[in-house]
């Protein structure tokens, strides 16, 4: 069933907000799509209540919209995201003088569930790299690439999208650092260790030249056809390795990011240094890994202490 079109003024505001996200905020394509989908959902709800222009948007409409989302079974995390999108949208509309006051200032949503991320034990990480090294022993390009991909993900804690966007000249082999373009086009420099350096060098010497072609450009990691590796391919590599462990619920490249952060903190790294490495804009985001470390400590204590 086709949805009714938005009133002209509301539809125009959606497109203006999209351009704002694309140009001024430099949001990723995925983030822009999510924001716009939420805004369109909100404005369709508002239009059904008789709202034809943003100036008519009221706090009550926003609250009823969130209530309808809750009744449809949306999770608390999704409701929190919807509320954040609504606040971003009305804040933009106020700056653009499309509304006289911000109706979302008092909009509240349920707090997110702060579930602890899946984290691998160091023994599990060692098993992963043993499997990768065995696969790469014959010098075939794809196993060499996969070992370098996983070594770099774990060594640096970068996001899979950041990894896929890496070019060869983003590496500084002498200093063992990596230039990463993160969220909001923010650039940061991340160090990596000797095992990752050796794996990447092996890939560049023996693997990449056998896959590179006119479509490869400067991309650091390539697909079997010589194109730049995409996020789906990198996720598949990591998912297969984690599934092969057989003793973890952790999934996807983000598990390696969580693991890298937790192991850094377990080893005594400064919280702000970890924040910088991960590219978090807020220290509060990084602090979840301190909770992970405490949780792991508690479990170890309960398992080992005779009077736990």
Instruction: List phi, psi (to 5°) of 222.
Output: -120, 155
Whole-Å CA distances, 52 to 68, 172, 228, 262: 20, 55, 45, 49
Measured between alpha carbons, how far is 38 from 32 in angstroms, rounded to an integer? 10
Active-site residue (options: 27, 208, 257, 263) = 257
CA dist., res. 103 & res. 156, Å (int) = 42
| Catalytic residue (one of 87, 206, 254, 296) | 254
Residue 289 annotated in active site: yes
Architecture of domain 122-304: Orthogonal Bundle (1.10)
- The residue ranges of every structural domain in the chain are 8-95, 122-304
Is 192 part of the annotated catalytic residue set? no
Catalytic residue status for 159: yes
> Encoding tokens for residue 200?
């990447």
pLDDT score recorded for residue 30: 78
Q: Known catalytic residue: 257?
A: yes
Nearest to 149, CA basis, from 202, 227, 225, 218:
202
Q: Which of 205, 181, 207, 175 is nearest to 193 (CA)?
A: 175
Q: Which residues contact 191 (CB under 8 A, 6 or more apart)?
A: 156, 175, 176, 177, 178, 277
* The token pair that represents 187 in the structure block: 């650039």
Q: Give the pLDDT confidence of 243-298 residue by residue, as tens digits.
A: 888 888 778 888 899 899 888 888 888 888 888 888 887 777 777 777 666 665 56
Beta bridge partners of 178: 171, 190
pLDDT digits (tens, 9 = 90+) for 184-216: 778 899 999 999 999 999 999 999 999 999 999
Strand ranges (E), 10-154: none
């Amino acid at each position: 069933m086709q949805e009714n079109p938005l009133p002209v003024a509301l539809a125009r505001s959606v497109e203006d907000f999209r351009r704002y996200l694309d140009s001024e905020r430099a949001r990723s394509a995925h983030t822009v799509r999510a924001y716009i989908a939420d805004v369109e959902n909100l404005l369709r709800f508002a239009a059904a209540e008789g709202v034809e222009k943003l100036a008519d948007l009221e706090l009550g409409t926003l609250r009823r919209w969130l209530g309808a989302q809750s009744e449809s079974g949306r999770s608390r995390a999704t409701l929190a995201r919807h509320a954040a999108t609504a606040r971003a949208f009305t804040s933009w509309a106020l700056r653009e003088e499309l509304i006289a006051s911000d109706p979302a200032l008092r909009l509240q949503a349920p707090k997110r569930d702060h579930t602890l991320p899946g984290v691998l034990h160091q023994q599990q990480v060692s098993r992963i790299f043993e499997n990768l090294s065995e696969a790469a022993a014959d010098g075939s390009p794809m196993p060499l690439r996969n070992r370098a991909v996983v070594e770099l993900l774990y060594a640096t804690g970068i996001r899979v999208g950041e990894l896929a966007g890496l070019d060869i000249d983003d590496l500084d082999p002498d200093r063992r650092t990596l230039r990463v373009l993160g969220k909001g086009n923010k650039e940061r420099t991340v160090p990596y260790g000797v095992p990752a350096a050796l794996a990447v060098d092996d890939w560049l010497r023996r693997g990449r030249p056998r896959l590179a072609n006119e479509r490869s450009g400067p991309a650091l990691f390539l697909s079997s056809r010589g194109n730049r590796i995409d996020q789906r391919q990198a996720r598949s590599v990591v998912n297969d390795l984690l599934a092969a462990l057989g003793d973890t619920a952790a999934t996807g490249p983000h598990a390696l990011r969580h693991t890298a952060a937790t192991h850094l903190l377990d080893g005594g790294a400064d919280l702000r240094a970890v924040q910088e490495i991960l590219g978090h804009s807020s220290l509060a985001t990084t602090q979840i890994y301190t909770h992970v470390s405490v949780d792991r400590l508690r479990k170890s204590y309960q398992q080992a202490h005779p009077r736990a």
